[in-house]
Amino acid sequence: MTVTLADVAARAQVSPATVSRVLNGNYPVAAATRERVLRAVDELDYVLNGPASSLAAATSDLVGILVNDIADPFFGIMASAVQSEITGPGGRAGGERMAVVCNTGGSPERELTYLTLLQRQRAAAVVVTGGAIENAPHAAAIGGKLRRLGEAGSRVVLCGRPPADDAPDAVALTFDNRGGGRRLTDHLIGLGHRRIGYIAGPTERTTTRHRLEGHQEALAAAGVADDPRLTLHGPYDRRSGYDATLELLRRAPELTAVVAANDTVALGACAALRDRGLSIPDDVSVAGFDDLPFSIDAVPALTTVRLPLYEAGARAGRIAMGREEEPPGGIATVHGELMVRGSTGVPRPY
């Protein structure tokens, strides 16, 4: 039914091994023979059987990418960058490597499931993006899985997540969320803000905690009291920003600034303020985090911390492909850059 390597061999009058060799190009073959084989491949419209090839070679051309949700540009950009680096010849039979994108929704159970599935596929590499859940059993389970993946031959790279205990050979490119959060709030305090609302992400996530800690660090350094009533937790979405902002306004009408866990949440905050008839930044300053593409088009443009998502993803991809040296100690910190734009200004006189 479907044409196999043996058919090609027969037609080209060579042995199957030779066909395999010209296909994989990793072994000397006479030019004339190669031509003949290639022609046969073409004439028969032959397509290599990937599973068979992977089975025999004990490795595959698949690279796993774990993301919370690929529809979120934060993850989409990293995934796109990883892809751009795994592309190009290098896979089996001159083929290219392909990206298996797994939406985990941030759930550790799904992360675990997908890691197992990727191990099952004998993925050449796995890039795990996004923050980690802070929960000992889960962390241990995932760490163990990552270690076993590594032992089974997959290169493991964490992108935007702290190093995993239990998985010593996994390279980690960690975002400096704490430092970014610190600089952002420093900036607001420098402008004169003292009553600053903070809309944090979901609890039990490293990203959430680190960004929040940076904020608190800045408050403490400036001797500003950290009123717990001004910090609200919620998902990383627009709605959360909208609702939390209304709640903050209710709790503390005197507030002059709102810091959001990320840009998406910040947009929600902006919408809520507009709906309340408050002007940004004259009545209330707003800041985000990530600097996603749309942030510059907010009106006023969003002050935020730019994370080099594409660059980090690309680097993760190169390391996963063994095309870039691992950072010393297997850990590198990726810093964010404060982008001061129109959405923050001096507080209103009051």
Partner DNA sequence: CTGTTAGCGCCTTCAG
Partner DNA sequence: CTGAAGGCGCTAACAG
5 binds DNA (CB under 7 A): yes
The correct pick among 10, 29, 44, 332 for binding DNA (CB under 7 A) is 29
- Residues 56-61: contacts with CB under 8 Å, at least 24 apart: 57/92, 58/122, 58/153, 59/92, 59/122, 59/124, 59/153, 60/92, 60/121, 60/122, 60/123, 60/124, 61/91, 61/92, 61/95, 61/96, 61/97, 61/98, 61/124
Residue 293, binding choice from DNA, a copy of itself, none, Cβ under 5 to 8 Å by partner class: a copy of itself
Binding piece for a copy of itself, criterion CB under 8 A, among 28-36, 133-141, 293-301, 331-339: 293-301
From residue 93 to residue 132, what is the string marking binding to DNA with x (rule CB under 7 A)? Answer: x---------------------------------------
Q: Which does 84 bind (CB under 5 to 8 A by kind): a copy of itself, DNA, none?
A: a copy of itself
Per-residue DSSP letter, 195: S
For CA atoms 326, 328, 331, 332, the dihedral sign is: negative
Task: Tell the smallest beta-carbon distance from residue 4 to DNA (Å).
Answer: 3
* Alpha helices for 127-221 (secondary structure H): 136-151, 177-191, 206-221
From the list 53, 174, 207, 285, which residue makes contact with DNA (rule: CB under 7 A)? 53
Q: What are phi and psi of 347, to 5 degrees?
A: -65, 155
Give whichever of 192 and 322 is closer to DNA, judged by the CB atom. Answer: 322
- Residue closer to DNA (CB basis): 36 or 195: 36
**Positions in 219-248 near a copy of itself (CB under 8 A):** 238
Start-to-end CA distance of the chain, whole Å, equals 80
Distance in Å, CB of 97 to DNA, minimum: 14
- Nearer CB in complex with DNA: 93/224: 93
User: CB 306 → a copy of itself: shortest distance, Å?
Assistant: 16
Cis peptide leading into residue 16 (ω within 30°):
no
Q: Does 6 bind a copy of itself (CB under 8 A)?
A: no
Listed residue (233, 242, 288, 290) closest to 72, CA to CA: 290
Nearer to DNA, 49 or 103 (CB): 49
Look up tokens 């964010």; give the residue. Answer: 336
Helix and strand numbers (H, E) in the chain are 12, 12
Tally Cβ neighbours within 10 Å of residue 207.
23
Q: Is 226 helix (H, G, I), strand (E, B) or coil?
A: coil
Site string for a copy of itself, 30-49 (x = CB under 8 A): ---------------x-xxx
Q: Is 284 in the site for a copy of itself (CB under 8 A)?
A: no
Size of residue set near a copy of itself by CB under 8 A = 59
For 56-119, the DSSP string reads HHT--SEEEEEES-TTSHHHHHHHHHHHHHH-SB-SGGG-B-EEEEEE-TT-HHHHHHHHHHHH
Partner whose binding site includes residue 14, from a copy of itself, DNA, none (CB under 5 to 8 Å by kind): DNA
Residues numbered 100 to 159 that lie near a copy of itself (CB under 8 A) are 100-103, 113-114, 116-122, 148, 152
What is the contact surface with DNA in residues (CB under 7 A)? 2, 4-6, 13-18, 20-21, 23-24, 26-30, 32-34, 48-49, 52-53, 55-58, 92-93
